[in-house]
């Protein structure tokens, strides 16, 4: 049970590519990505973090390969994870070749800074031989010198020109298994660059606001930038860039998609900000429920409203609902219908039990 969307988003049609087992573009769901911040040569720590990121709902994980030991470490890392791995490569073509040989599902490169045409040919051959896709990753902070001189500063036109130039380099080698990003730390610059690029190519677009900052400012910047583009149907895979635990990036990415009805995963909680009318401590209750329900992957809606002003109306539209009442007598709703009164001391355990029961029913009905 859920509220009917006021507007369905019509996504821009793009080509479909494979990043390992994950299909990106076309009619496929928008995927969520993150990136490890461990030393890739610390194999145990990197495996642990990849699995934590994956458990939170990431579809794809990127790993930096700055040196030979890192790119060769991928061979062991990939044996112990269940998500496609993107190798992040800058400047050195041999790292890209090694990453492809050691199991990477995708290479994040800028062909223009890889080197000579012969080196690019070697990278493309390795990608083809090992069924690797490529992400052309353009960043406002590392534009080509001649493009920067032409435009005087990073601007949407500069990012798009760089992206199209790098695409042509790969297309000249008959390689089209690619996706593109044009990132900036500036929301307006990023949004306009992606909008212009979406009119110039039908390759899948990887969305992101790069170097967005800490958890709160970075989440807000990313939500505004990516939300604006996603509402216009632009974007096939997303990454939230935060100076924080990568797991938090996945949480924010999934919440952005869930808020736009572009993804259904886990429990979607509708809750009030609380006020003097609340019949129980709403804020603390929501925090506890978020933690206790984090293991649920089945799409379920839950309303947690502190009083009867909006409580019954919200509960009527969710799978499970709880509305605050007088003297700790709170009303439990199941499938939008009043079920019974529940005392505050029993409320959290009862809601968790009902959500788990609902998840089991839905899983068994598939």
Residue 366 confidence (pLDDT): 72
Q: What is the pLDDT of residue 5?
A: 55
Q: Among 26, 88, 27, 83, which Cα is nearest to 60's?
A: 83
Same structural domain for residues 195 and 214?
yes
Residue 333 counted as domain residue:
yes
Residue 221 lies in a domain: yes
Do 186 and 298 share a domain, yes or no? no
237 in a domain, yes or no?
A: yes
pLDDT at 76 over 80: yes
253 and 273 fall within a common domain: no
- How many CB atoms are located within 10 Å of the residue 363 CB? 10
At which of 259, 291, 320 does a domain end?
Answer: 259
Q: Could you tell me if residue 150 is inside a domain?
A: yes
201 and 298 share a domain? no
pLDDT in tens, 137-157: 999 988 888 999 999 999 999
In this predicted structure, the answer to whether residue 1 has a pLDDT above a threshold of 60 is no
Average pLDDT score over residue span 311-336: 93
CA distance 53 to 47: 10
CB 205 within 8 A of CB 14: yes
C-beta of residue 258 within 8 angstroms of C-beta of residue 270: no
Same domain, 246 and 298: no
Taking alpha carbons only, the member of 98, 155, 158 closest to residue 132 is 98
* pLDDT per position as a tens digit, 217-239: 999 999 999 999 999 999 999 99
Domain count, the chain: 2
Residue that wins the pLDDT comparison between 116 and 241: 241
Tens of pLDDT, residue by residue over 251-297, are 999 999 999 989 888 899 999 999 999 999 999 999 999 999 989 99
- CATH value at residue 230: 3.20.20.20
211, 286: one domain:
no
Kind of pairing, strands 178-183 and 133-139?
parallel
Burial class (CB in 10 A: 0-12, 13-18, 19+), 205: buried
Please indicate, yes or no, if residue 132 is contained in any of the structural domains. yes
CATH number of the domain that 277 lies in? 3.30.413.10
Average pLDDT of the chain is 94
Domain boundary (259, 294, 317) is at 259
pLDDT score, position 6? 56
Give the residue numbers spanning the domain of 348: 267-364
Answer for the pair 43, 77: CB distance below 8 angstroms, yes or no: yes
- Given the structure tokens 């790069």, which residue do they identify? 210
Residues 225 and 290 grouped into a single domain: no
Digit-coded pLDDT (tens) for 36-73: 999 999 999 999 999 999 999 999 999 999 999 999 99
Of the candidates 259, 285, 308, which is a domain's last residue? Answer: 259
Per-residue pLDDT reduced to its tens digit, 99-141: 999 999 999 988 777 878 888 899 999 999 999 999 999 999 8
* Judgement on whether residues 278 and 157 belong to the same structural domain of the protein: no
pLDDT at residue number 365: 84
The answer to the question of residue 344 being in a domain is yes
Residue 3 located in a structural domain: no
Residues 162 and 249 in one domain: yes
Provide the pLDDT confidence category of residue 3 given band limits of 50, 70 and 90: low
For residues 166 and 85, membership in a common domain is answered with: yes
The pLDDT, as a whole number, for residue 243 is 95
* Residue 4 included in any domain: no
According to DSSP, the residues that pair with 17 across neighbouring strands are: 24
Confidence of residue 75 (pLDDT cuts 50, 70, 90): very high
The token duo for 293 is 């329900």
Residues 345 and 297 in one domain: yes
> Is there a single domain that holds both residue 195 and residue 78?
yes
Residues 264-273: tens digit of each pLDDT? 888 999 999 9
What distance in Å separates the CA atoms of residue 202 and residue 14, rounded to the nearest whole number?
Answer: 5
């Amino acid at each position: 049970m859920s509220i009917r969307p006021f507007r369905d988003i019509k996504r821009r049609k793009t080509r479909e590519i494979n990043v390992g087992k994950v299909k990106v573009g076309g009619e496929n769901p928008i995927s969520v990505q993150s990136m490890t911040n461990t030393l890739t040569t610390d194999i145990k720590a990197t495996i642990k973090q990849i699995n934590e990121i994956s458990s939170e709902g990431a579809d794809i994980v990127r790993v930096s390969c700055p040196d030979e030991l890192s790119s060769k470490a991928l061979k062991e890392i990939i044996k112990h994870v269940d998500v496609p791995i993107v190798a992040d490569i800058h400047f050195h073509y041999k790292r890209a070749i090694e990453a492809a040989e050691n199991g990477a599902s995708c290479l994040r490169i800028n062909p223009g800074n890889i080197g000579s045409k012969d080196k690019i040919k070697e990278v493309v051959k390795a990608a083809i031989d090992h069924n690797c896709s490529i992400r052309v990753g353009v960043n406002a902070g590392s534009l080509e010198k001649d493009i920067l001189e032409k435009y005087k500063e990073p601007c949407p036109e500069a990012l798009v020109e760089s992206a199209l130039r790098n695409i042509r380099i790969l297309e000249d080698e008959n390689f089209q298994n690619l996706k593109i990003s044009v990132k900036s730390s500036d929301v307006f610059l990023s949004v306009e660059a992606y909008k212009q690029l979406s009119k110039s190519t039908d390759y899948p677009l990887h969305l992101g606001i790069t170097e967005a900052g800490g958890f709160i400012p970075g989440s807000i910047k990313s939500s505004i930038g990516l939300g604006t583009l996603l509402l216009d149907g632009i974007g096939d895979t997303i990454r939230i860039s935060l100076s924080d635990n990568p797991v938090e990036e996945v949480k924010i990415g999934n919440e952005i998609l869930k808020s736009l009805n572009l993804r259904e995963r886990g429990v979607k909680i509708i809750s009030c900000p609380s006020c003097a009318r609340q019949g129980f401590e709403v804020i603390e209750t929501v925090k506890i429920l978020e933690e206790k329900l984090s293991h649920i992957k089945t799409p379920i809606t839950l309303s947690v409203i502190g009083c009867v002003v909006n409580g019954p109306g919200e509960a009527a539209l969710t799978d499970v609902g709880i509305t605050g009442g007088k003297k700790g007598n709170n009303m439990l709703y199941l499938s939008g219908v009043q079920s019974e009164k529940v005392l505050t001391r029993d409320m959290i355990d009862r809601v968790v039990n009902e959500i788990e029961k609902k998840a089991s029913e839905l899983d068994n009905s598939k």
